[in-house]
Structure 1
């Protein structure tokens, strides 16, 4: 039970900081926060993503490119231009790495206001750090695992963030249902997104990219991350922006 609880905890905490800090804040600026809180969330992202730490700078720019070029040859991660899931993720990894190292040149509009803390990113993304976290996870399993099959979960801990990315960037362009007709292949994976904390409402998000609530189009679409965002806004840690797409949501016609 301890191992399964640890796995679930790591899954959802890592996912939360990916969707809240990297996606909705770094890439889309759906809300604002002070520089002090920004630094705190950098550190919390590192703690909870661990060996899978993703740079807000690299993630933010790459995700903006994804929205600008969704399902075209310029999309950093499109199933339409990859031979397999692993091919897509390898391309994604290379583009992300080149962005972080300044080798991938992009227009200024894709870098504007993206959070930057390169010294911290360099430390958190170093192999010393990644291997160190891997050792911590392994020792935890050695101490608490009660069955051999539990060790099969370890590789997911090592690659938690890429696994989360693969689920959305591949499967949410392959299977699921749609609420809105778009120019890309985005879908909503689950009627109630208990697995990806709202990220699975991908078709909704591609239709209204600046809308903080990825769900809410149908009665069963509950975006758990959005509920947490509302609490953080209420206590003053962040300040939500008034989204134009929030106003126009009801004007778009859903696909039956």
Structure 2
């Protein structure tokens, strides 16, 4: 039971910071926060993503490219142009690393105001950091595993962020329902997004990319947005005005 709780904490903790910080803040800037709060969020993202830590800079730019080039050959991740989900994941990893390590020239429209903390990213993305987290996860499992099948969850802890990404970027463009007909394959995975904390409302998000709330219908509850409302109420972040959804 301890192992299951541990994996769930990593799943939803890592997912929250990926959605809240990397996606809604770094890529879309649907809210603002102080520099101190931003630095704290960098650190918390590293704590919860651990061995699969993603840089706000690399993620933010790549996601903006995804919106600009959705389902075209320039899309960093599209089921339409990748043979299978593993091919898409490898292509995504390569593009992300090239952007994050500034090995390629990026159109300035994709880099505007994307948060970057180079010194911290260099540490958090280092081989040392990733091996450290993998070692800590393995030790935790060694102490608390009570059944053989729980070891099957260990690789999930190593690759949490890529797993989150492939659920949306592969399955979220193949399966689900559509609220808005668009010139792309984006779909909503769930009526109530219990698994991805609002990220599963992918069709809604492609329609209203600047909205902090990915839900549109009354039953489409966006848990990340609800937490953001609380943070906004306490003055930790400042939400921007909502676009009118029609």
Q: Which stretch shifts more, 234-243 or 184-193?
A: 234-243
The answer as to 2:236 corresponding to 1:237 is: yes
Partner SS, residue 80 of structure 2: helix
* Equivalent position of 1:185 in the other structure: 185
C-alpha deviations, 1:10-42, integer Å up to 9, x for none? 100000000000000000000000111100000
What is the CA-CA distance between 1:104 and the residue it aligns to?
2.1
Distance 2:217 2:108 in 1: 36
Distance 1:42 1:6 in 2: 21
* Equivalent position of 1:111 in the other structure: 111
Q: What's the Cα RMSD here?
A: 0.6
Quick check: 1:76–1:91 contact (8 Å CA) kept in 2?
A: yes
C-alpha deviations, 1:131-164, integer Å up to 9, x for none? 1000000000000000111011011100000000
The answer as to 2:179 corresponding to 1:166 is: no
C-alpha deviations, 1:170-217, integer Å up to 9, x for none? 0000000000001100000000000000000000000000000001x2
* Equivalent position of 2:36 in the other structure: 36
Quick check: 1:25–1:31 contact (8 Å CA) kept in 2?
A: yes
Distance 2:74 2:45 in 1: 28
Quick check: 1:95–1:104 contact (8 Å CA) kept in 2?
A: no
Q: What is the correspondence of 1:92-107 to structure 2 with a 5 Å cutoff?
A: 92-107=92-107
Distance 2:195 2:207 in 1: 21
Partner SS, residue 80 of structure 1: coil
* Equivalent position of 1:157 in the other structure: 157
Q: Which runs of 4+ in 1 moved over 6 A?
A: none
C-alpha deviations, 1:204-233, integer Å up to 9, x for none? 000000000001x22210000000000001
* Equivalent position of 1:228 in the other structure: 227
C-alpha deviations, 1:77-108, integer Å up to 9, x for none? 00100000000000000000000111121111
C-alpha deviations, 1:45-78, integer Å up to 9, x for none? 0111110110000000000000000000000000
Structure 2 residues not aligned, in runs of 5+: none
* Equivalent position of 2:53 in the other structure: 53
Quick check: 1:27–1:59 contact (8 Å CA) kept in 2?
A: yes
Structure 1 residues not aligned, in runs of 5+: 251-256
Distance 2:229 2:39 in 1: 20
Distance 2:211 2:183 in 1: 18
Distance 1:59 1:188 in 2: 21
The answer as to 2:189 corresponding to 1:218 is: no
* Equivalent position of 2:126 in the other structure: 126
Distance 2:189 2:63 in 1: 19
* Equivalent position of 1:254 in the other structure: none
